[in-house]
Structure 1
Amino acid sequence: MDLDLTGRTVVVTGASSGVGLATAKMLIAEGANVAACARDADRLKTAFDGLPVHLGTCDVLDESAVQDFVAQAAEAFGGIDGVVNNAGRSLMARLSETEDRQWREELELKIFSVLHVVQAAQPWLRESAAASVVNVNAILARQPEARLAATSAARAALLNLTKTLSGELAADGIRVNSVCLGLIDTGQWRRRYEASESTLDFDAWSAELAADRGIPLGRLGTADEVAFPIVSLLSPRASYVTGSAIDVGGGIARYL
């Protein structure tokens, strides 16, 4: 199916690896113009070597840097049609292990990494006939994990913010949706595997992890499996979908 993304411009944050990189590559394959940013310039350049993409080094918590990057992307491609807010991380710490500073950092990252980009892109999104924002979130937003106390709370705040944005921006023709992840095989889980010093290979280790977390499909997801619903929500063919949250978690969600 043609997703009608050819020639449309999408900004992707946190694009140097994992879900962000997979999403950007899928968009390029669909014929979209992609403006990709991350904090590590060398890693970003290596990730997109040989691909037609506008790259920018940008910390999404730096409002001025975000505005500059978005403006450069709009100038390079003549506008902006979509935004994928993917930049983020998880803090593996229980409630009793989390310092006040870490609570503030998690909330700041989850909220302002989205607000800065959306606000910067809004003038161009208003001019688009198919404006769409997708915020990459987590099932933790609705199903807190004790081992990720601050991240769970911050994810819930982002889910709430996304719903608010969908209502506020609807009059401008800008759709806003969430894609909520479960356990996805990205760099974070690879690093945790290496830190575990397990005698198992990664496939066996991750299968045990999936069983421990109660994932019905019995495995971790892949970045491409997340990229597909993100790209689908960016498509004009999803023009009546806004304020929604799509779970990509192998069935781990327990809520209705």
Structure 2
Amino acid sequence: MDLQLTDRTVVVTGASSGVGLATTRMLLAEGARIAACARDLDRLRAAIETIDGVDPDKVHLRACDVTDRDEVESFIGSTMQRFAGIEGLVCNAGRSLMSSLSETTDEQIRAEFDLKIFGSWNLVRAARRPLAAADCGAVVNVNAILSRQPEPRLAVTSAARAALLNLTHSMAEDLAADGTRVNSVLLGLVDTGQWRRRFETSGTALDYDAWSAQIAADSGIALGRFGTAEEVAFHIVTLLSPLSGYTTGTSIDVGGGVGRYI
């Protein structure tokens, strides 16, 4: 199926690994132009080099801290200079803070909300005009099922993700007047570098597959495994497509059945 993404410019944040890199790879395969950023430019360049057959004329890479409004404005400005338009945003920069509420410092709380809220809002307001000028502008906020189903071990991350989900709905209403759609993809447990690092420091005698399967079972994941970055990227790319032109203000769970809310 042709998703009608050829030569459409999509901005992807947090593109050096995991879901961001998988989304970038999939968009390039669909013929899109990519403006990708991460905090570590060398790591981002090395990651993009792992993608086969990349046309350098279709890729723009920058270091950017998405919580810094000036850096974001500069990144979007350079993207406009390079490609003269922006049709899509993937707000993917994020992390999870494994900490109970009583163990979390005020600085960590502020940092979580800063990243989750401004990691999206800085990009959206910087790119609002070019998105409005596109024939079918689209924003996808990469969020988590934690936004609707909080976990005590991820108390502040859950709260910050709930705030982002609420903000996404507000942005969808606000940007509808521009013809720009705003949606969310809600992740469950996805096999990314964060989980690999937790495995390496866990002290378990199990191999990674057995260890992750045990966590999946303990977490109540119906499919009994972690998801893959590619399985998440598919839904992101689909929401960016003009074929999803009547979808806004909604969210898609990609959690293997872990969601217990109605």
Structure 2 length normalisation: TM-score? 0.97
TM superposition shift of 1:93: 0.2
Matched, 1:25 2:13: no
Percentage of pairs with the same residue: 64
Q: Match of 1:10, SS?
A: strand
Q: Match of 2:232, SS?
A: helix
TM superposition shift of 1:68: 0.8
Instruction: Provide Cα deviations, 1:49-89, integer angstroms capped at 9, x if missing partner.
Output: 16232100001011111111111112211200000000011
- Could you tell me how far apart the structure 1 residues matched to 2:9 and 2:15 are? 15
Identify the residue that residue 193 of structure 1 maps to in structure 2.
199
- Could you tell me how far apart the structure 2 residues matched to 1:72 and 1:105 are? 27
Give the counterpart letter for 1:136 in structure 2. V
Instruction: Provide Cα deviations, 1:9-59, integer angstroms capped at 9, x if missing partner.
Output: 000000000000000110000000000000011110100116232100001
Matched, 1:51 2:51: no
Matched, 1:81 2:81: no
Give the counterpart letter for 1:152 in structure 2. S
Identify the residue that residue 244 of structure 2 maps to in structure 1.
238
Give the counterpart letter for 2:246 in structure 1. Y
Instruction: Provide Cα deviations, 1:100-156, integer angstroms capped at 9, x if missing partner.
Output: 111111111100111110111111001000100000000000000110000000000
Instruction: Provide Cα deviations, 1:150-205, integer angstroms capped at 9, x if missing partner.
Output: 00000000000000000000010000000000000001000100110211111111
Moved segments of 4+, more than 3 Å: none
Matched, 1:16 2:16: yes
Identify the residue that residue 133 of structure 2 maps to in structure 1.
127
Structure 2 residue runs without a partner (length 5+):
none
Q: Match of 2:65, SS?
A: coil
Matched, 1:100 2:106: yes
- Could you tell me how far apart the structure 2 residues matched to 1:51 and 1:61 are? 29
Q: Match of 1:177, SS?
A: strand
- Could you tell me how far apart the structure 2 residues matched to 1:167 and 1:201 are? 46
- How many residues align? The count is 256
Identify the residue that residue 174 of structure 2 maps to in structure 1.
168
> Over aligned residues, Cα RMSD in angstroms?
0.7
Q: Match of 1:35, SS?
A: strand
1:198-217 mapped onto 2 (5 Å cutoff): 198-217=204-223
Structure 1 residue runs without a partner (length 5+):
none
- Could you tell me how far apart the structure 1 residues matched to 2:44 and 2:203 are? 28
1:123-162 mapped onto 2 (5 Å cutoff): 123-162=129-168
Structure 1 length normalisation: TM-score? 0.99
Identify the residue that residue 255 of structure 1 maps to in structure 2.
261
Identify the residue that residue 34 of structure 2 maps to in structure 1.
34
